[in-house]
Amino acid sequence: MSETDGQADVTVVLPDGSELDVPAGATVEDVAFEIGPGLGRDTVAGKIDGELVEKQATVHDGARIEIVTDQSDEYLTVLRHSAAHVFAQALQRLHPEATLTIGPPTDEGFYYDVTGVDLDEEDLAAIEDEMDDIIAADYDIEREVRSREEAKEIYADNEYKRQILDDEADEEEVTFYVQDGWRDLCQGPHVESTGEIGAVTLLNISSSYWRGDEDNDTLTRVNGTAFASEADLEDFLERREEAKERDHRKIGREMDLFSIPDHSPGAAHYHPNGMRIRRELEEYIRTKNDELGYEEVWTPELNKAELWKPTGHYDAFKEQGEMFAWEQDETEYGLKPMNCANHAHIFADSQHSYRDLPLRFSEFGTVYRNEQSGELSGLLRVRGLTQDDGHAFVRPDQIEEEIRQTLSVIEDIYSQFGLEIIYKLETKGDNSVGSDEIWEQATDALRGALESEGLEYDLEAGEAAFYGPKIGLDARDAIGREWTIGTVQADFNIPQRLDLTYVGEDNEEHHPVMIHRALLGSFERFMGVMIEHFKGNFPLWLAPTQVRVLPVSDDTLGYAHRVKNALDDAGLRVEVEDRDWTVGRKIRQAHDDRLPYMVIVGGDEEEVGTVSVRDRFENEASGVELDAFVDHLVDERDEKRTEPDFVDAE
């Protein structure tokens, strides 16, 4: 902090790392004007230490500041927040009896939870028309400051807003945003006027719980989305329709991959077809673990809750209601929510020298999280999940190299599936444990590994787990959606809390550092993403059935089985379609079943010992030597090529 003309200044950090002195009490907008008058005029909102805030938010000394304009990625979030207010205003114009609760922006749009009004899908068109009128009127969206007591009077009949005021409003003054005389309690940020919302639509109605708690009131949730232009909205709606076609729950039923029955909510049953995919993924990750020097272990799912108390996980998971725990014979037990404490026990069970490190354990370990029922979503959000988990115990001087090697393998893995990785460096948050010094050291190691590998990354300030910073891995799929999957974390805290030690070169005891990493994340979530990414059209190496042999008639059924045996001998997953169908129907069914290849055999093929080949793209080749076809399939499988390419290769 410096002093200018007798007035104390605060120093803020700009995105390029440069520092700027501004007067104490300065806002994000003031910072923008200090940078340049044009930027000041264009400021819509800002980010302070990674958190999106209104442009009137006051900056503090040392704050990392980003300015949000209509050219920023965050602008769409701000616009959608304003669209949620437009929805709420339109709703109350048509249904004054409606009670508003909360209405935030989301990754794909916005929602508003309401009660006191009976809505169904047929009501959405009228509300949307009213929203269009509000947008066309281009009302100014103005910030208004009120005392907490005034706000409580305004919401005398709204218990939900009053609860927000009691639980979340720390200051004696709170903010509202007002448009055309209608107001809503809100911290912002918002766009300048309703007319900035170029296009809006309401998507559906669902139910929700107040505060996401099943024990609280049931509310009506209206979901919508908004964009700056009609063209962007149309693109979104097209992608949304494509996403429906790719829904892993729909494809999972069609391909008989998995089920999640009522008797095991949030826990998947893998059917034989799905288990074939999962086993291929497991074996693939085993080869990658071997490359990295991991040794596979197994640890039990049932443990005494005492195991997780020293690490801090017990308090963290119990506080969020995410741990399955119970008492028996005056002892508390639980299903493990993560594997790291068990792996730490294996490390502690033996003595180690500095020469032994890195020591690496991997496990396909099933863990359990007590997710809310309303948050469960097929394989993407479950209660029972199997992680491709791993923990490396390293010396401090080995951290960056260990992370670099892990990132290199991760790049290879995700490129194998045709997924683009988005890296996020998540740094210390408010719930962190341990000293600033070890957090800084761990964060620097993660940052150094990313930069030495030449990887671009987004900074997610304050988003790390309580015990250490991490590199989060998001995967962008075939239609541009982003999925959070794997992770790499550097952790000084848990080894210290559990008093894990090794004997150093100085013959003194030292604490190792734990590198937590999950390459795919969980098999459940990754399989859900893969089903949607490939639309069920898995590459040959993953396909549950790789080849189907289609005899033209019963007369060639014997030859069809000889072809099958040749493919079986090469370790390929193959079946014969022996139903009394026409060839055309057999081909259509194979396409519907998403087979990479089908082999058609008739009298001509049997006579000369060849096959006719057809792939999922309807490419065909006839008179193909069986041995050549088998050799090609083996190469395509072993090289894990993304698409069938036999016909192209010929």
User: Looking at the structure, do residues 53 and 107 belong to the same domain, yes or no?
Assistant: no
| Active-site position among 516, 548, 564, 637 | 516
Average pLDDT for 274-291: 97
Q: Are the CB atoms for 483 and 529 separated by under 8 Å?
A: yes
pLDDT for 642: 87
Q: 516 among the known binding-site residues?
A: yes
Question: Range of 47's domain?
Answer: 3-68
User: Looking at the structure, do residues 165 and 33 belong to the same domain, yes or no?
Assistant: no
In a domain, 385, yes or no: yes
pLDDT for 648: 54
In a domain, 24, yes or no: yes
Helices (H), 433-549: 436-452, 493-497, 523-534
pLDDT, tens only, 145-197: 999 999 999 999 999 999 999 887 667 899 999 999 999 999 999 999 999 99
- Here the CATH number for the domain that contains residue 591 is 3.40.50.800
| Active-site position among 369, 383, 447, 511 | 369
517, pLDDT greater than 90: yes
621, pLDDT greater than 60: yes
1 pLDDT tier (thresholds 50, 70, 90): very low
Distance CA 405, CA 86 (A): 49
Helices (H), 168-262: 230-246, 248-254
Average pLDDT for 521-541: 96
| Active-site position among 49, 80, 186, 340 | 340
pLDDT for 647: 65
65-68 vs 51-54, strand pairing mode: unpaired
User: Looking at the structure, do residues 89 and 214 belong to the same domain, yes or no?
Assistant: yes
Q: Shortest CA distance to 362 belongs to which of 291, 421, 307, 413?
A: 291
User: Looking at the structure, do residues 378 and 480 belong to the same domain, yes or no?
Assistant: yes
pLDDT for 50: 84
In a domain, 329, yes or no: no
Q: Which of 512, 534, 556 is the last residue of a domain?
A: 534
User: Looking at the structure, do residues 100 and 51 belong to the same domain, yes or no?
Assistant: no
Average pLDDT for 524-530: 96
313 is catalytic: no
Q: Are the CB atoms for 49 and 462 separated by under 8 Å?
A: yes
User: Looking at the structure, do residues 57 and 80 belong to the same domain, yes or no?
Assistant: no
Distance CA 643, CA 636 (A): 9
Average pLDDT for 303-324: 86
pLDDT, tens only, 314-331: 888 877 778 898 999 999
Q: What's the pTM value of the predicted model, to 2 decimals?
A: 0.82
Distance CA 485, CA 385 (A): 13
Cα torsion angle, 131, 82, 183, 170, sign = positive
Q: 340 among the known binding-site residues?
A: yes
Q: Which two tokens stand for residue 437?
A: 């010094």
> How far, CA to CA in Å, does 210 sit from each of 56, 95, 120, 213, 618?
29, 20, 19, 6, 51
In a domain, 540, yes or no: no
426, pLDDT greater than 60: yes
What does the radius of gyration of the chain's CA atoms come to, in whole angstroms? 29
Number of domains in the chain: 4
E-assigned strands of 188-236?
Answer: 199-209, 218-227
pLDDT for 433: 83
User: Of all residues in the chain, what percent carry a pLDDT higher than 70?
Assistant: 98
Q: Say which residue, 435 or 191, is predicted with more confidence.
A: 191
In a domain, 330, yes or no: no
pLDDT, tens only, 41-85: 999 999 998 889 999 999 999 999 999 999 998 999 999 999 999
User: Looking at the structure, do residues 570 and 619 belong to the same domain, yes or no?
Assistant: yes
The one-letter code for the residue type at 100 is L
87, pLDDT greater than 50: yes
Average pLDDT, whole number, for the chain? 92
pLDDT for 373: 78
User: Looking at the structure, do residues 611 and 503 belong to the same domain, yes or no?
Assistant: no
E-assigned strands of 118-167?
Answer: 142-147
430, pLDDT greater than 80: no
Query: Which helix (H) or strand (E) element contains residue 482?
Result: strand 482-491
Which residues, 6 or more positions from 377, have their beta carbon under 8 angstroms from its beta carbon? none
In a domain, 631, yes or no: yes
In a domain, 313, yes or no: no
394, pLDDT greater than 50: yes
User: Looking at the structure, do residues 489 and 570 belong to the same domain, yes or no?
Assistant: no
User: Looking at the structure, do residues 458 and 509 belong to the same domain, yes or no?
Assistant: yes
Lowest mean pLDDT among 9-18, 238-247, 459-468, 623-632: 459-468
Q: Which of 68, 98, 123 is the last residue of a domain?
A: 68
In a domain, 10, yes or no: yes
| Active-site position among 276, 336, 391, 614 | 391
Q: Are the CB atoms for 133 and 114 separated by under 8 Å?
A: no
| Active-site position among 89, 92, 179, 387 | 387
3, pLDDT greater than 70: no
Which residues, 6 or more positions from 141, have their beta carbon under 8 angstroms from its beta carbon? 82, 85, 177, 178, 179, 190, 191, 192, 193, 194
Distance CA 599, CA 563 (A): 9
pLDDT, tens only, 89-131: 999 999 999 999 999 999 899 999 999 999 999 999 999 999 9
- Here the CATH number for the domain that contains residue 198 is 3.30.980.10
pLDDT for 2: 47
123 is catalytic: no
Cα torsion angle, 301, 304, 305, 309, sign = negative
161 is catalytic: no
Q: Which two tokens stand for residue 134?
A: 């509000």
Q: Which two tokens stand for residue 579?
A: 């139903």
Lowest mean pLDDT among 48-52, 371-375, 439-443, 550-554: 371-375
Q: Which of 68, 85, 112 is the last residue of a domain?
A: 68
516 is catalytic: yes
DSSP letter string, 598-628: EEEE-HHHHHHTEEEEEETT--EEEEEEHHH
> How far, CA to CA in Å, does 375 sit from each of 350, 369, 372, 522?
41, 12, 5, 17
Q: Are the CB atoms for 66 and 15 separated by under 8 Å?
A: yes
Q: Shortest CA distance to 401 belongs to which of 486, 295, 292?
A: 292
Q: Are the CB atoms for 399 and 548 separated by under 8 Å?
A: no
387 is catalytic: yes
pLDDT for 7: 56
What value, to the nearest 5°, has the Cα angle with vertex 530 and ends 527 and 535?
Answer: 125
Lowest mean pLDDT among 286-295, 309-318, 406-415, 605-614: 309-318
Q: In what order do the strands lie in the sheet with 45-48?
A: 51-54, 45-48, 65-68
- Here the CATH number for the domain that contains residue 475 is 3.30.930.10
User: Looking at the structure, do residues 191 and 80 belong to the same domain, yes or no?
Assistant: yes
User: Looking at the structure, do residues 392 and 508 belong to the same domain, yes or no?
Assistant: yes
pLDDT for 649: 42
